[in-house]
A and B are shown apart, each in its own frame.
Chain A
């Protein structure tokens, strides 16, 4: 509880500072002007969604390997938080697109990939809800692994399908005044995300416990022999 709370508070603080710097300290970008400020929340959302999906993938493997339900708790935490960030990513990307390309949606590689990714992992959460208790953990892990493996394939196929987009700009090539808010926000969302992951895992664990009735007390066995 304490770890979770301090992570959340630290994350929030970083996020506030990063956002302030991103909005008011960092200079506007050369071509995109003020619109570029969306990047300070957009890119961190993307990084963290990917990172949390990767966590989920790791948890899925651990869950199948060990059969321990704790890994499944963490898995649902990671997937759920990542799906929220992923949905945000799409909305931010769409607003950015409207401002720079003049359309809400462009079949851009990363935007399209993140839409497919959202559908894939929303599918994991749906399957989870439909599965019976005995199979829930295994099915969630299976679906998570299958979905995660798909992400690079989707990325490459969309890229080949429509390869007319800007190349990824690495933080080294941009102004340091831009790098700092970006990093602050990235770490802020990461800490917040991990705190949520833990909170969500705790909820799942509590739900599991609630469904576990205590073992009934042992009855006395009557022995009879006719031999």
Chain B
């Protein structure tokens, strides 16, 4: 646990030191949201109806930037190898990196959700806002686990910018659907009490992948024969 914390603290500190880069992920998410709005035209009703989708797509697209970035610092001076040489355990490394990524992606929520509220003139109270951020956080956690595992592999490739999305996006279809539907129900009412089942789908995805990827991370970072 202490080891997880010190790697996590290192990641967060570096993230803070290089906040210009971190900020560019935020900006990217904002720009994405804007582009979706332009693509759908100025019909406020249609835009409002599409809000959950836009939000989750903004999250999804910015996640690959954040994930690639999180392994760039590990690759630059092969620091990841240095971590391997310490009696750390690849599982601890995975949980530290995945937590850092999940946290960073969750921190996008206030900015992007806030912007959506303004742009699409959503009428939401504090409970609905909390619900949106909650769905976002669950989705971010779902992206962070397989995303960290895959980014650890693709960061070694010349084609990393393409490789990560083509591997990650099909995988997180349940996260996408789950968080879009959950946000939709939070925003526009939940007449048939379905929210719980979508949230449990997201939770199931999170639990399964945080466990599986933790075990598999070792094979992603260690050299085989």
Residues of A participating in the B interface, judged by any CB pair closer than 8 Å: 64, 67, 69, 116, 119-120, 123, 126-127, 130-132, 134-139, 141-143, 145-147, 149-150, 153-154, 156-158, 160-161
Contacts and interface: CB of A to CB of B under 8 A. Distances in A.
Interface stretch (B15-23, B102-110, B118-126, B170-178): B170-178
A183 to B, nearest CB: 32
Contact of A142 (B156, B204, B216): B216
A161 B201 CA distance: 11
B167 A123 contact: yes
A134 to B, nearest CB: 5
A146 B225 contact: no
B171 A142 contact: no
A49 to B, nearest CB: 16
A145 to B, nearest CB: 6
B224 interface: yes
Contacts of B183: none
A119 B171 CA distance: 9
Interface of B: 146, 149-150, 153-154, 156-157, 159, 163, 166-167, 170-171, 173-174, 177-178, 181, 194, 197-198, 201, 204-205, 208-209, 212-213, 216, 219-220, 222-225
Contacts of B219: 64, 138-139, 141-142
30 contacts: A67-B224, A67-B225, A116-B170, A119-B170, A123-B170, A123-B171, A126-B163, A126-B166, A126-B167, A127-B163, A131-B153, A131-B157, A134-B224, A135-B156, A137-B224, A138-B219, A138-B224, A142-B153, A145-B212, A146-B146, A146-B212, A150-B174, A153-B201, A153-B208, A154-B173, A157-B173, A157-B178, A160-B197, A160-B198, A161-B177
Contacts of B205: 153
Q: Which of B171, B204, B212, B222 has the most CB of A within 10 A?
A: B171
Contacts of A67: 224-225
B138 to A, nearest CB: 13
B155 to A, nearest CB: 12
B223 A135 contact: yes
Nearest to A130: B157
B181 A139 contact: no
Nearest to A156: B201
B173 A116 contact: yes
Given A120-B170, A157-B174, A157-B177, A130 B159 contact: yes
A69 B225 CA distance: 9
B201 A160 contact: yes
Contacts of B222: 138
A132 B224 CA distance: 10
Contacts of B201: 153, 156-157, 160
Contact of A134 (B177, B178, B197, B223): B223
